[in-house]
Amino acid sequence: MSTYVYGITRSSHPALPEKADGVGDPPRPVRVITHGGVAALVSDAPENLRPKRRDLLAHQNVLGEAGEAGTVLPLRFGGVSPDDDAVLAVLREREAHYLERLTSLDGKVEYNVKAAHNEEAVLHQVLVDNPDLRALSQDHRATGGGTYEQKLALGERVAAAVKHREARDAVLVQESLEGAAVECRPGPEGTGRLVNLSFLVERDHAGAFSDAVDALRREHGHLVLQVNGPLPPYSFVE
């Protein structure tokens, strides 16, 4: 039977979540495969595994429980190995690498931050920042909106100003938060957002990172910030 792998940790890790509910229906119990100084959290892999909500949560919960007691190198959902022997072979081959990565991530967690614009608020901000554009907009309103060509020209100028603001605010978000983090890495780009960033944060300094997020929200009300964390350091495992 194939083996599902949740993550890698030290063999000395306290309270490894053996017998916890893993992926599958019914849930497969989690077990631990060890070699030397490293261990893999695994379970039997169900056939035709799909990213269903129950299985995604089970994957996260196993890593979350293990991560509360020590450092874990998390695998993303769907990591399947041919069998336990194949997992053991990888542990044997890459033990030194895994131990180095575990040491580098000791006491650290990940926060993912996605930022977008509040459309109404950013339009207001763009006009505040551009006196000429604001005056032109006011003139158009005073004259009933202007001609079709004038409306089109104004719309194009506003769109260009918003695009410029998007680039500025993407830099603003990163620079405002990276001082409270050890490392920052970009996540996948997506439509409708300015930036998707993952921050590696010292667990003991998580409060300072949250304070930086709150200050950013407070000082820049046109930004909509979605913060997810603390998480296992998915984005910082090579």
pLDDT digits (tens, 9 = 90+) for 71-117: 999 998 988 999 999 999 999 999 999 999 999 999 999 999 999 88
Q: What is the mean pLDDT of residues 8-19?
A: 80
DSSP 202-224: EGGGHHHHHHHHHHHHHH-TTEE
> What does the pLDDT read at residue 121?
75
What three-state secondary structure class fits 72? Answer: strand
> What does the pLDDT read at residue 111?
95
> What does the pLDDT read at residue 138?
62
Q: What is the pLDDT of residues 164-211, one digit of tens each?
A: 788 888 899 999 999 999 999 998 776 668 889 999 999 999 999 999
Q: How far apart are the first and last CA of the chain?
A: 27
**How many CB atoms within 10 Å of residue 197?**
21
Length of the chain, in residues: 238
Q: Give the integer Cα–Cα distance in Å for 187 and 169.
A: 16
Higher pLDDT, 219 or 162: 219
> What does the pLDDT read at residue 202?
94
> What does the pLDDT read at residue 151?
64
